[in-house]
Chains A and B, each alone.
Chain A
């Protein structure tokens, strides 16, 4: 299988299980490489936000381990920054920085830098409860990169922002990525496709697809098949650069293949007794747009 190869992950989630009242919320393993930008996609209730909270240490898995290669600094940009904080940006960032343990001189310099970068100098002494959503989202990022972190987690960072703010944001994220910061984002916007190196698609709390972003920019086809009986399909026999992704669940199999090789794969599946449910061109952008909505 042409899967993403990870050598020295920054953070590793090993056989993570999260359930609530018997309901399975998350059941996966995942590694995140230093310096990579990973997008997490999925429909409502697929477990995106839970996964981000577990990566950030805000929630604990019921089973499995979260392993960090070293003691990593994290920054978290939540979906929907609080709207009614009665602090000015400077007061707020001073609070967060001091709580984080940053020294005052360093903190003051850093806040000055960030206010310039995010063009918020003019409102730096105004209380944030009068700010627009775009301005608050900037504060959300500023508090997350104050330290600055090794890993930046962003939950729907572009949600509810106007086109101009989204554009500003993309530039900021690009620059953070260029600085070597590891980014993990839960996103829907196709505009972020060019930013990420890798994406995973969650379905019912499981990793449905784990691909490098550059791979899915190429044309692909999806073959969906089912098996009437329990037949163990030897998927390795059909990989060899032909199959880009395999998703298997009970008697259901979904393959992402290069269009030129789809006939060969279809023939193989039919010979093995599979029923072909559908064959269609895979449109990467469609995968993003059909996952709109948060969980």
Chain B
């Protein structure tokens, strides 16, 4: 598994396709912290939201990076379809962790936050970054080209879902009560933002973690479902 991750990581680095999303994110962080005020929780919530979009963009490119013939050879050598899928997700998570660390440490290193960082806020902010990054990876995994053949549908579908996951709440008053359960199908990105924006930064209650649990379940389901679709596609090859 470690070698597969290393291989995918090297393959991606050598492709230089990481440059647009990574550079965009780094520039975004730097510009964002240039302007004050920078309330700690709110700032980290914004950078996590940025990471959610960037990592989904990066992941969609990453899933399509390996040449299709080379993909067959990698599968033959690794002897496991599942291992390959997990290795790709782990590689992406590794990249996401790097970006998370940058967005977390940059304002600390240059003393750009308005309030001193507490352990509670720091831990929850890190967790938030990593979870939304995983959510972005999971969504990209669902819209990857091996599952969604058309480029337009793949990119368009992912963009639509990413945006909808944040703005759907504005439409809830217009939706009949009988079908409002459908909102649970949307990625829970907004709920995590909402709970952090309303947090005082000191008390730790269960209500604070509920959206995080919900996200974790959503992410796990999405990964499993994408894997199921990939396996199904394979039987059609």
Could you list which residues of chain A lie within 8 angstroms of chain B, going by C-beta atoms? 20, 53, 56-60, 62, 74-76, 78, 80-82, 84-87, 91, 95-100, 143
Could you list which residues of chain B lie within 8 angstroms of chain A, going by C-beta atoms? 3-4, 6-7, 10-11, 14-15, 67, 69-70, 72-78, 234-237
Question: Which residues of A are found within 8 Å of B70, using beta-carbon distances?
Answer: 82, 85
- A31: min CB distance to chain B, Å: 21
The residue of chain B having its C-beta at the shortest distance from the C-beta of A91 within the complex is B10
Question: Which residues of B are found within 8 Å of A98, using beta-carbon distances?
Answer: 3, 6-7
Contacting A60 at CB < 8 Å: which of B72, B73, B76, B235? Answer: B235
Question: Which residues of B are found within 8 Å of A74, using beta-carbon distances?
Answer: 76
The 8 tightest CB contacts between A and B, nearest first, are A86-B14, A82-B67, A98-B3, A59-B237, A100-B77, A60-B235, A99-B77, A95-B7
Evaluate contact between B236 and A20: CB separation under 8 angstroms.
Answer: yes
Q: How far is the CA of A99 from the CA of B78 in the complex (A)?
A: 6
Residue pairs across A and B with CB atoms within 8 Å: the count is 60
Contacting A58 at CB < 8 Å: which of B6, B11, B237? Answer: B237
The residue of chain B having its C-beta at the shortest distance from the C-beta of A95 within the complex is B7
Contacting A75 at CB < 8 Å: which of B10, B14, B76, B235? Answer: B76
- B73: min CB distance to chain A, Å: 6
The residue of chain B having its C-beta at the shortest distance from the C-beta of A60 within the complex is B235
The residue of chain A having its C-beta at the shortest distance from the C-beta of B4 within the complex is A99
Question: Which residues of A are found within 8 Å of B237, using beta-carbon distances?
Answer: 53, 58-60
Q: How far is the CA of A58 from the CA of B69 in the complex (A)?
A: 11
Question: Which residues of B are found within 8 Å of A86, using beta-carbon distances?
Answer: 11, 14-15
Contacts A20-B236, A62-B235 given; indicate if A76 touches B14 (C-beta within 8 A).
no
Known A-B contacts: A57-B76, A143-B73. Give 5 more (CB < 8 A): A56-B72, A80-B69, A82-B70, A96-B74, A96-B77
- A154: min CB distance to chain B, Å: 13
Contacting B69 at CB < 8 Å: which of A56, A57, A81, A97? Answer: A81
Contacts A53-B237, A59-B237, A95-B3 given; indicate if A84 touches B67 (C-beta within 8 A).
yes
Question: Which residues of A are found within 8 Å of B14, using beta-carbon distances?
Answer: 86-87
Contacting A99 at CB < 8 Å: which of B69, B74, B235, B236? Answer: B74
The residue of chain B having its C-beta at the shortest distance from the C-beta of A62 within the complex is B235
- B67: min CB distance to chain A, Å: 4
Question: Which residues of A are found within 8 Å of B72, using beta-carbon distances?
Answer: 53, 56, 58, 76, 78
- Interface-centre pick from B14, B75, B76 (highest chain A CB count, 10 A): B76
The residue of chain A having its C-beta at the shortest distance from the C-beta of B78 within the complex is A99
Contacting B73 at CB < 8 Å: which of A53, A62, A96? Answer: A96
Question: Which residues of B are found within 8 Å of A85, using beta-carbon distances?
Answer: 67, 70
The residue of chain A having its C-beta at the shortest distance from the C-beta of B16 within the complex is A86
- A167: min CB distance to chain B, Å: 24
- A74: min CB distance to chain B, Å: 6
The residue of chain B having its C-beta at the shortest distance from the C-beta of A127 within the complex is B14
- A271: min CB distance to chain B, Å: 48
Question: Which residues of B are found within 8 Å of A82, using beta-carbon distances?
Answer: 67, 69-70
The residue of chain B having its C-beta at the shortest distance from the C-beta of A146 within the complex is B77
Q: How far is the CA of A62 from the CA of B234 in the complex (A)?
A: 11
The residue of chain B having its C-beta at the shortest distance from the C-beta of A75 within the complex is B76
Evaluate contact between A60 and B234: CB separation under 8 angstroms.
Answer: yes
- B79: min CB distance to chain A, Å: 8
